[in-house]
Amino acid sequence: MSSFWSGWIILLTVVTIIGTAWLLFANRSRPNDQETTGHVFDGIEEYDNPMPAWWFWMFVITIIFGIGYLVVYPGLGNYKGTLGWTEIGQYEAEVAKANSEYGPIYQKYAAMSLEDVAKDEKAMRMAGRLFSDNCAQCHGSDARGSRGYPNLADGDWIWGGGAGQIKTSINNGRQGTMPSWLPALKEQGVDEVSEYVLSLSGQPADSDMAAAGEKHFQTYCVACHGADGKGNPLMGAPNLTDDIWLYGGKRAQIRTSVNEGRNGVMPAQQESLYPEKIHLLAAYVYSLSN
């Protein structure tokens, strides 16, 4: 803050405090000997009594408290207060305290394998809280996901469900990239291949269209989803033959996936979370289906 504005704030604050104190003391006794102010309405007269003593002293105490506060804490413009308290200082002190309290516990789990941490009840309670704070907004508080956000509790994985693969998903994030197939296949081709995808997952489908769609599938889709349609965790390409869908398995939803493409993004956590916390979270996600 520039020294002008700092001075301005100090002036305003001091003048306000002095003004309030003056107002308080100036009204302490009755200005004239008359009992009433002379206001009468409907036979009711207004008395001119000073404030009761308890109330008066409460104001005095608040003024003294206010002055004392402004002396020890920052509040008057740029003046830092005699205690040297700062918001950042308090935050850092709290972080340091938490680190010295929880640091050794995190260290202990960080040295254990993910599979072992997953069996540790106390670790999983801590990890559950981390999950609520950092992951639940997308994957749901029960980790069961919703459209576009995968279910992490069902044992079905897009990017692989090994403990190490889960940790990589969390650390580095994941980006599912499927382009739109409209330019290559045109409307009719999209309809046909969608019909084939329906049939892959055992749903009723038009057999002529599905047969035509299978040809498109073998040309355009096998590179990522595999010749059998069971997907490929290296590409993040989901299995299309089961009844678990990231974006929905109804005809219209499949058609939208193929028509428009899909680009789900799992944000990388390694910039925002300590490695020890990611270790706990990976073990937690692993524990949900193991």
| Contact code string over 175-204 relative to ligand HEC, x by CB under 6 A | -xxx--x-----------x---x-------
CA-to-CA dists, residue 123 to 41, 267, 280, angstroms: 73, 24, 7
Within 8 A by CB and 6+ apart from 185, the residues are 192, 193, 216, 220, 258
229 binds ligand HEC (CB under 6 A): no
- Identify residues 114-173 at the interface with ligand HEC (CB under 6 A): 134-135, 137-139, 148-150, 152, 157-159, 166, 169-170
Among the residue ranges 6-14, 46-54, 85-93, 242-250, the one whose residues contact ligand HEC (CB under 6 A): 242-250
221 binds ligand HEC (CB under 6 A): yes
Considering only 126, 266, 283, 288, the residue that binds ligand HEC (CB under 6 A) is: 266
Q: Are 246 and 264 in contact (CB under 8 A)?
A: yes
- Residues in the chain, how many? 290
**Minimum CB separation from ligand HEC for residue 189, in Å?**
8
- The CA distance from 213 to 193, in Å, is 4
* List of long-range contacts for 195-199, beta carbons under 8 Å, 24+ apart: 195/251, 197/229, 197/240, 197/254, 197/258, 198/251, 198/254
Considering only 245, 260, 268, 276, the residue that binds ligand HEC (CB under 6 A) is: 245
Q: Are 243 and 254 in contact (CB under 8 A)?
A: no
274 binds ligand HEC (CB under 6 A): no
Among the residue ranges 67-75, 88-96, 104-112, 246-254, the one whose residues contact ligand HEC (CB under 6 A): 246-254
Q: Are 213 and 254 in contact (CB under 8 A)?
A: no
Would you state the torsion angle of the CA atoms of residues 146, 152, 156, 161, taken in this order, to the nearest 10 degrees?
150
Compute φ and ψ for 255, nearest 5 degrees. Answer: -60, -40
- The CA distance from 54 to 46, in Å, is 21
The nearer residue to ligand HEC, 86 or 219, going by C-beta atoms, is 219
Within 8 A by CB and 6+ apart from 220, the residues are 181, 184, 185, 193
Considering only 126, 198, 205, 258, the residue that binds ligand HEC (CB under 6 A) is: 258
**Minimum CB separation from ligand HEC for residue 121, in Å?**
19
281 binds ligand HEC (CB under 6 A): yes
287 binds ligand HEC (CB under 6 A): no
The nearer residue to ligand HEC, 20 or 232, going by C-beta atoms, is 232
Of 104, 97, 263, 99, give the one whose Cα is nearest residue 174: 263
The nearer residue to ligand HEC, 84 or 275, going by C-beta atoms, is 275
- The CA distance from 126 to 204, in Å, is 46
**Minimum CB separation from ligand HEC for residue 235, in Å?**
5
The nearer residue to ligand HEC, 28 or 129, going by C-beta atoms, is 129
**Minimum CB separation from ligand HEC for residue 107, in Å?**
20
Q: Which residues bind ligand HEC (CB under 6 A)?
A: 134-135, 137-139, 148-150, 152, 157-159, 166, 169-170, 174, 176-178, 181, 193, 197, 216-217, 220-221, 223-225, 235-238, 240, 245-247, 254, 257-258, 262-267, 269, 281, 285
